[in-house]
Structure 1
Amino acid sequence: MTTIYLVRHGQASFGAESYDKLSPNGELQAQVLGRYFKEILKEAPYVVAGSMQRHQQTAHMALAESFPESTVLTNAAWNEFNHQQVFAQYEPRFNQPHLLKQDVDKELNPRAYLSKIFEGAIGRWTGGEFHHEYDESWPEFKGRVETALQNLCDELAKIKPRYAVVFTSGGVISVAAGKMLQLSPDKTFALNWAIANASFTTLRLVGNEPQLLSLNEHHFIKAYDSQLLTWI
């Protein structure tokens, strides 16, 4: 029976000109994840990663610590939604990522402020009235992720590896979990906000159908250094 690990990438570069790059914290998170995989996985996994830089970096850094011989299959269907566009359509000035970071940094409770912005931006994106204003609408993103998951399950049911690891993003993982739990968009993205960097969510493959085993496992990072835990 195959166990699937859906991994959120390590911390990216929030507020930088290019978000799609691991921060120094993110690089260390990926290495800690890889060392943990070396302990818990008994053989080399089947590996897939989104095509985003942060997915690829996390995959290669983690595997360098655990299964350096593994081949990483790249599949853009596991890429995150365009969060910068989602923020900018909600508040046009956030089209410049550093302005959002400036606003967040000025707040006494930065995470609470960003959570409020995130909730408003996601609500607009998923609400239905403005689908035409996005390069990828919410229904298109949801459909892409659900298809990617089913295609992966169909492939794994044929080749039957013991483990599969997918390096992706929080929004993707939330949609996958939301599909299995039959969650509304609001509750799906409440999950997204809680998923820690370099955490993993596990699925068990029964036939070619996924079953949710665990969500947002990050205890191994906390055990290494609680200050290394990040969610943004």
Structure 2
Amino acid sequence: MTIIYLVRHGQASFGKSNYDELSENGEAQAKLLGQYFKHLFTEPPYIVSGSMKRHQQTTQISLKECFPQAEYKIDGLWNEFNHQQVFSLYEPRFAQPEVLKQDVFQEVDPRAYLFQIFDQAIARWTNEEFHHEYDESWITFKMRVESALHNLCTELANKQPQEAVVFTSGGVISVVVGKLLELSVQRTFALSWSIANTSVTTLKLVNGEPQLLSVNEHQFIKSKNPDLLTWL
């Protein structure tokens, strides 16, 4: 039996031209994650990282705290969907990330406003009528994530490590959980909105099949430094 830990990357650079880079908060979160893993694991787990910069930064910073010599596999199947394109095709003004950030923080309740925009943009992306407009449609993204999970489970069934860690993104984790719980698209992305940066979602691999154990564990951040807890 193998336990799989799906980790959302640390806080990235929301509202900047290059989102795909950890913020200062994100680096601190990744460091806390590594310290948590140091107490959790007695030996290096099998490690996979998405190929995005924020995935690999989170991987490298956290491993420095627990298993600095550990190697990891890079697999782009675990990459996030292009959320910036999803926003910009919903509202062309949002092709400039700075404009979205400015709009969000002008609101009385920025998080509620961003959730509303996110929900409407995702609704358009997942509508079959518009699939042809996106570089990666919702259906293609979903199939990619399910392939990543299938490939990982096959590999782990052969290698049989005690633990495996995958550094990925919130949308990816939501699709995995949505598949295991048979959630609707709407409920899947509502879940995505609640997944904290560097939180851990845990699966158990039994006879080659994944079973969900826990979702969005982030107490290791809350107990050490609550101010570092973020969802964007």
With the length of structure 1 as denominator, give the TM-score of the two structures: 0.99
In the TM superposition, 1:198-209 aligns within 5 A as 198-209=198-209
- Alpha-carbon distance in 1 for matches of 2:138, 2:120: 14
In the TM superposition, 1:1-232 aligns within 5 A as 1-232=1-232
What letter corresponds to residue 72 of structure 1 in structure 2? Y
Secondary structure at 2:66 match in 1: coil
Secondary structure at 1:71 match in 2: coil
Tell me the CA shift for residue 179 of structure 1.
0.3
Tell me the CA shift for residue 2 of structure 1.
0.5
What letter corresponds to residue 178 of structure 2 in structure 1? G
Secondary structure at 1:48 match in 2: strand
- Alpha-carbon distance in 2 for matches of 1:106, 1:5: 37
- Alpha-carbon distance in 2 for matches of 1:163, 1:143: 25
**More deviation, 65-74/12-21:** 65-74
Please list the CA deviations of residues 89-116 of structure 1 after superposition, one character each: whole Å capped at 9, or x if unmatched: 1000000000000001101100000000
- Alpha-carbon distance in 1 for matches of 2:209, 2:68: 29
- Alpha-carbon distance in 2 for matches of 1:199, 1:224: 14
What letter corresponds to residue 66 of structure 2 in structure 1? S
What letter corresponds to residue 140 of structure 1 in structure 2? T
What letter corresponds to residue 41 of structure 2 in structure 1? L
Secondary structure at 1:190 match in 2: helix
- Alpha-carbon distance in 2 for matches of 1:149, 1:85: 24
- Alpha-carbon distance in 2 for matches of 1:192, 1:228: 19
Unaligned runs of 5+ in 2: none
- Alpha-carbon distance in 1 for matches of 2:204, 2:69: 24
What letter corresponds to residue 57 of structure 1 in structure 2? Q
Q: Report sequence identity in percent.
A: 65
What letter corresponds to residue 32 of structure 1 in structure 2? L
Tell me the CA shift for residue 67 of structure 1.
1.0
- Alpha-carbon distance in 2 for matches of 1:62, 1:147: 26
What letter corresponds to residue 166 of structure 2 in structure 1? V
With the length of structure 2 as denominator, give the TM-score of the two structures: 0.99
Please list the CA deviations of residues 90-148 of structure 1 after superposition, one character each: whole Å capped at 9, or x if unmatched: 00000000000000110110000000000000000012110000000000000000010
- Alpha-carbon distance in 2 for matches of 1:34, 1:191: 24
Tell me the CA shift for residue 41 of structure 1.
1.2
Runs of 4+ in 1 over 4 A off after TM superposition: none
- Alpha-carbon distance in 1 for matches of 2:68, 2:176: 27
What letter corresponds to residue 59 of structure 1 in structure 2? T
- Alpha-carbon distance in 2 for matches of 1:211, 1:115: 29
Tell me the CA shift for residue 154 of structure 1.
0.3
Q: Could you say what the CA RMSD is over the residues aligned between the two structures, in angstroms? A: 0.5
Please list the CA deviations of residues 145-175 of structure 1 after superposition, one character each: whole Å capped at 9, or x if unmatched: 0010010000000000011000000000000
Tell me the CA shift for residue 24 of structure 1.
0.2
Please list the CA deviations of residues 155-210 of structure 1 after superposition, one character each: whole Å capped at 9, or x if unmatched: 00000001100000000000000000000100000110000000010000011110
What letter corresponds to residue 14 of structure 1 in structure 2? F
**More deviation, 19-28/69-78:** 69-78
- Alpha-carbon distance in 2 for matches of 1:4, 1:197: 18
